[in-house]
Structure 1
């Protein structure tokens, strides 16, 4: 993948991920406004987290780590990638069907294991909601496989656009229910599995257009499948370990009224830059690194890694500073309306600032993990994830008596930095391929300085705009002004410090 195509891939995935995250904000704004923190929203969050947890465990964890590199290799060689893709599709379909059937039967046990602090009302609601939304995992897991095929062939748009359908359908369902005076939560719940069907249809049709119209059949246990499972299992376990962190946090939060809803809303806010930058870079970087390492192009792999890291930090560090410096204006303008009051907004803002402290670590993990996966090394990330899980659980449970519901957010941030440190430590013997180049080492301190200057400007601007930020309707323009001031301050400082060059920006736009 040439540098221009690599950057084009970043921007394509980033654009569609940004669209998904923006629509996700609209979705969360509607949920917080029409339903609001409380038993119904807590139950929805806990129920919706179940299929997403297993989706990341089986589909994203396994196939991003094992399927994409193997499929990419077969595309470059003389083997039949379509046959391998068909075998993988059939195996994944059977596994997720069995998982869905078991979950439907044992849903009360799943809810107890993941939200044991719920009272009877929230527990019963979660069980009912969970049985409706859990089949989403089947459709999304197969969609993830077709997305892997599309990413490996360099067709990023359809795979990146698929998640947008979930938000579009959920938003449409809630808006329709509100207009008709119907039960909003019921329309919301049923929209989830229907969106999964739409996402699968989109990615399958795109893969078919790319020459991979895979048809379902009985699974075949081939040597390739054995190799993929051997590679995927540690990666799936590593991803599962990270999901355990979310479960531990939810168990702690479920003991406090509205805390599950507060942390969910805060999580969605910091997921915007994480999704746009970290996930986009990770998705595009993995197949590119796999090809370059297979071809023995160490210099090309090093350049791709350095540019991905530079791109990630240039956008992530200022985002993190903004989340730390102005969390309340962001939260109050976006979420405070309808069923969500000022106290809810203040609680969410505190959690946002804590998550902001860990944002660079979360993004850099997405940049570093392909270094392992592209080499077929999934065992060490698993061991590192286990260590991070222990740290997360110890902090979340240990600090709960001291800081109550905020403990899971603190635990997530500390564990994120610990995981990043372990990933760097594990690459210490890989030499030139993973050593960042001189351009990155020169620009990173300048990026940090530019972001700190932006933070100071934002702090002053927030004080000046505080009356407007608290006024109905005007607050939207005030927040927009605050964001534009921050962006101008950052990019202006970046030009002065040399963190970013105008020529770089022009080239990125052209690409």
Structure 2
């Protein structure tokens, strides 16, 4: 976790950069070995001298576009799912649902989540290249062990649901609230098993150059949960109710629908596995997996996860305390965090995912300069692409919150009152993405220890700010203060990681990065002025009606986007011109 909550979108896979609930896709192993960044996306040129043509997997630009398109649709349906559930459940019941939904994700993180991306995925790529059978037997053995572990953990977790509720729900919450969290978690904790299976299947597909299914099957998940939320609205209507009024049938529809969505997502990957020629055969020769090496590398990742979970316990307790006082609680804070992760996932995750295997290959070959160049490109591209989104979130916070969440059991006034949380999130967006880029650079170099040690002071800073905000601020400002605490911790993480990486790989082109960021900041400042002027001319105030909010969002968003693009072109922001050139070439084709 990275200071936010597990999202309802796509059933709560691991956080970090892959906040959409999907397993992190990989570029094809052959491409990772043979090519450097594609000119369409990251400003590189050509192939490694003397390399043979890649056997498959397409270009980096093509794979990135597949991932971005799948992520866009997946996150779009995931956000619709969030809107439907928010409208159906309201604040109090929605807070309980959000709290219960964290449990499967956190246990998955302990078992597999962090280790999958930082240890197992690179190992699967290496075995795919080096083993005579293309890593088939190794992968079958790994899946067999993982499935057994996931099944056992799921049974234990369901039995321990009341203990989890006691840890993560505030002591100030009512007994009915805690009982509802426990009842929902009994239905939703089996998601641990299906989440893990889905992530492993996705990893197998990615290492075999197949990206479509892992990016698109979460849509099935979202559709099922949207249907469950719709059924709840049809049967019971959209009205605020207390947690004690949630009957067994209401709980079954919401909790059971969420579980079914993840089960279908995992099952939807099976045809794709057959298509790439992978067959799952039970193998129990676990000694062949090199468990000692996996344990050594995984131990630092577990340390990373444990530290994050301590921070998460603090966040949930503080939010549940604020929610018990009628202010912004886990549900609406989580909805805002979803907006932050949507932008990060569509833009930054595609960049990080394209760079990760290339940085891993460069690290294996000792090409540290190439890693530095990729980091520089990644920072410049992510910052330039995310800046206008951050401006839109900050300037149009109230229209966004009313348009998306001011429905059903959540009124327009209640939604507008949470806009300050989105303004705080707009400050956190770019620091979060940059910090994640640095973290995954450490993973690419198998520096799990470094990532874990950097995380300790980062989470300590975050917790200190969170607790201070809760003690010093009025309850209505607590959620916004927590988001600011996240932003500060992301800056600290990026600063420490950059210092450590510079000592390891040399200069990472900060002069070029600073020059690009300066131009981006000027373009963003201009778009802020344009956005505020347009908002002054449009109807509505701090609490616009739904129609006014939608009008402000459409017109204001267009004005901000147009102003930023125009200023970026005028200032010759190279990353924006490259992205536009790529789009033009794609359209011509």
TM exceeding 0.5: yes
Partner of 1:460: 533
TM-score, length of structure 2 as denominator length? 0.81
Alignment of 1:24-423 (within 5 A): 24-38=78-92, 40-78=93-131, 80-117=134-171, 118-181=173-236, 186-218=252-284, 220-256=286-322, 257=324, 258=326, 259-403=329-473, 404=475, 405-406=478-479, 407-423=481-497
Deviates more, 1:395-404 or 1:375-384: 395-404
**1:140 to partner: Cα distance:** 0.9
Query: Any conservation in 2 of the 1:16–1:161 contact (CA below 8 Å)?
Result: yes
Gaps of 5+ in 1: none
For 2:448 and 2:191, the matched residues in 1 are separated by 27
Corresponding residue SS for 2:287: coil
Corresponding residue SS for 2:67: helix
**1:58 to partner: Cα distance:** 3.0
| Structure 1 residues 186-217: Cα deviation after superposition (integer angstroms, max 9, x where no partner) | 42211122112212122333233223222344
Aligned length: 509
Q: Does 1:505 align with 2:558?
A: no
Query: Any conservation in 2 of the 1:73–1:291 contact (CA below 8 Å)?
Result: no
Query: Any conservation in 2 of the 1:310–1:440 contact (CA below 8 Å)?
Result: yes
For 1:303 and 1:418, the matched residues in 2 are separated by 22
**1:71 to partner: Cα distance:** 1.4
Corresponding residue SS for 2:321: coil
**1:308 to partner: Cα distance:** 2.6
Query: Any conservation in 2 of the 1:278–1:362 contact (CA below 8 Å)?
Result: no
| Structure 1 residues 337-357: Cα deviation after superposition (integer angstroms, max 9, x where no partner) | 221124422332111111221
For 2:67 and 2:405, the matched residues in 1 are separated by 27
Corresponding residue SS for 1:211: coil
**1:429 to partner: Cα distance:** 1.3
For 2:70 and 2:250, the matched residues in 1 are separated by 27
Describe the shift of the 1:56–1:344 C-alpha distance in structure 2 as closer, same or farther (beyond 3 A).
Answer: farther
For 1:6 and 1:305, the matched residues in 2 are separated by 16
| Structure 1 residues 396-434: Cα deviation after superposition (integer angstroms, max 9, x where no partner) | 2232121233343232222222222221122121235x7
**1:444 to partner: Cα distance:** 2.6
For 1:121 and 1:509, the matched residues in 2 are separated by 57
TM-score, length of structure 1 as denominator length? 0.92
Q: Which has the higher helix share?
A: 1
Corresponding residue SS for 2:540: helix
| Structure 1 residues 373-415: Cα deviation after superposition (integer angstroms, max 9, x where no partner) | 1111101111111212222222222321212333432322222
